[in-house]
A and B are shown apart, each in its own frame.
Chain A
């Protein structure tokens, strides 16, 4: 399985600021995903990061709030923009190698907004 490095592991930020989360994979992967888990909620897909094109966002998530980069097949970033306390969550990146295969996750970024 892929080794996924996600950073930062945690951060405390002021409202109105932005934070960029990085996800590095030790091998080339076609599919990379970004998830969020708000307190007491299920793990929710934010977007699929596409290499060479704009990310595909799920309903309720927009590019202006969560811009995503995918410059190559081993790296992606998620930015949480103009943060508010509602953005306090665990953010996870994952990689998939095809339908019917399990996804592999990074250790997550635990984000608190003051």
Chain B
């Protein structure tokens, strides 16, 4: 059983703050690391898929880094806005298209 861990479990920040979360995973049999954003009553939305050690991807105010040797990925949000409030999920892909998800980081951005 693959163990994908995310921290913190929940986070409350003020509008304008920058924040980051961590996803830890076993580095053996690594194929790709996915990040999704899941807002309440909506479907999970893909943010990034990263495959190479040292990968760094950016989408607007959100960016992510990947270290496959030590088995972690960071997600950063710069200048958080209330609409960033959601649960952020990471998922490890080891073979085929099967994903193993972490429990998520629930972010609340207070105006």
Binding site for B on A (CB under 8 A): 1, 4, 31, 33, 40-45, 48, 59, 92, 96, 98-108
Contact = CB atoms under 8 A, between A and B. Distances in A.
B44 A105 contact: yes
A40 B103 CA distance: 8
Interface of B: 1, 4, 31-32, 34, 36, 41-44, 46, 49, 51, 89, 91, 93, 96-104
Contacts of B101: 42-44
Given A41-B103, A42-B103, A99 B97 contact: yes
Contacts of A4: 43
Contacts of A102: 34, 36, 46, 49
Contacts of B102: 42
A22 to B, nearest CB: 15
State the main secondary structure of chain A at its contact with B. loop
27 contacts: A1-B46, A4-B43, A31-B97, A33-B97, A41-B103, A42-B4, A42-B101, A43-B101, A45-B99, A45-B100, A48-B97, A59-B1, A92-B43, A96-B97, A99-B32, A99-B93, A100-B49, A100-B51, A100-B93, A101-B49, A102-B34, A102-B46, A103-B34, A103-B97, A104-B46, A106-B43, A107-B42
Contacts, number: 56
B43 A45 contact: no
A41 B104 CA distance: 9
Which 8 pairs, one residue from A and one from B, show the smallest C-beta to C-beta distance? A102-B46, A105-B43, A43-B101, A96-B97, A42-B103, A107-B43, A42-B101, A105-B44
